[in-house]
Structure 1
Amino acid sequence: MTTERESYRPEIEKSDDEWRQELTPEEFQVLRKAGTERPYTGEYYDAKTAGTYACRACGADLFTSNEKFDSHCGWPSFWAPLAEGTVRYLHDRSLGMERIEVRCSRCDSHLGHLFKGEGFDTPTDQRFCINSISMTLVPAE
């Protein structure tokens, strides 16, 4: 798990002005400024639809409904990303605590945070706590 900023260059690079033209103010705040939506308010926190969750900024596939689970935390939770390298990890020391930030590998948009060792009965005991507004659900056909 790579957590360093220095050697990373996203495939998609845009200025804040370019992102503002493509995203709503709420999407921009979360995806580009590492904001968060309030718990239990996002459109996918309790979604049960089968499909793939893609980055709302660039469309990269990130997670699937197969790895989604109900953690009762108020945000969509996944026990693993779709594939290795789909997301990247950064140390986050904001809010006076140590966390692992999860970002889209393709465009470097903020998605949410990764928590480990919480005791969930999942194959990884990891919780990718992801903002609904960071993703678009593409239903399975």
Structure 2
Amino acid sequence: MYSRRDFSKLGLTLAGAFAGFKAASSYVRPSQADSTSKTFEVTKTEEEWKKILTPEQFRVLRKEGTERPGSSPLDANEAAGTYVCAGCALALYSSETKFHSGTGWPSFWQPLENAVATSEDSSYLMTRTEVHCRRCGGHLGHVFEDGPKPTGLRYCMNGVALKFVPKGAA
């Protein structure tokens, strides 16, 4: 029979293992380790990216980080306009495809044509579809198959990886 102490030890062991996986999340998968090794229209060295991005933008876009849910004002943004890549300013999503998913991240049911690319992400002991900017390779978020019609997709994006350009702005 197991005691409370046994379950406490198990809980601590699992918490420690999760912390190890969480710490490993700052690790960049070899396929994404050096964006200059891939051919993108916009390529920069790590130092050049650090000069043009905030530390949080760099962590998310270049190191595949994730911002805290609910931390981006873009999640609640309802203005008409276009969401562009914070790294290279490529237009990615129209406000017409944005919806409130309740996840705490800006969500869209469809990207603009030829704006994003996807790859397999096997971090955190699960497989997800990572979404990145097709022009600079910046990590934007993930896409899931639980979104609204007409696509049934939820492009769950890190707000810090995006900039909003209001309709009519140059």
TM-score using structure 2 length: 0.75
- Equivalence map 1:85-124=2 (5 Å): 85-116=114-145, 118=146, 120-124=147-151
Q: Secondary structure at the match of 2:96?
A: helix
Higher relative CO (Cα under 8 Å, sequence separation at least 6) belongs to: 1
Is 2:79 the partner of 1:49? yes
Looking at structure 2, the residues matched to 24 and 53 of structure 1 have their Cα atoms a distance apart, in angstroms, of 18
* Identity value in percent: 45
List alignment gaps of at least 5 residues for structure 2: 1-30, 32-37
| Higher helix proportion | 2
Deviations 1:68-107 (A, max 9, x none): 0111110000000011x21000100001110000000000
Hey, which bits of structure 1, 4+ residues long, moved more than 4 A? none
Counterpart selection for 1:79 from 109, 113, 123: 109
Q: Which has the larger radius of gyration?
A: 2
| 1:27 counterpart residue number | 57
Cα separation, 1, equivalents of 2:155 and 2:108: 5
SS at match of 1:10: coil
Segments of structure 1 that go 5 or more residues without pairing to the other structure are none
SS of equivalent residue, structure 1 residue 95: helix
Q: Which one of 36, 47, 60 corresponds to residue 17 of structure 1?
A: 47
Please give the root-mean-square deviation of Cα atoms over the aligned residues, in Å: 1.6
CA distance in 2, matches of 1:121, 1:112: 18
User: Structure 1: how far apart are the matches of 2:111 and 2:57?
Assistant: 21
Give how far 1:113 is off. Answer: 0.3
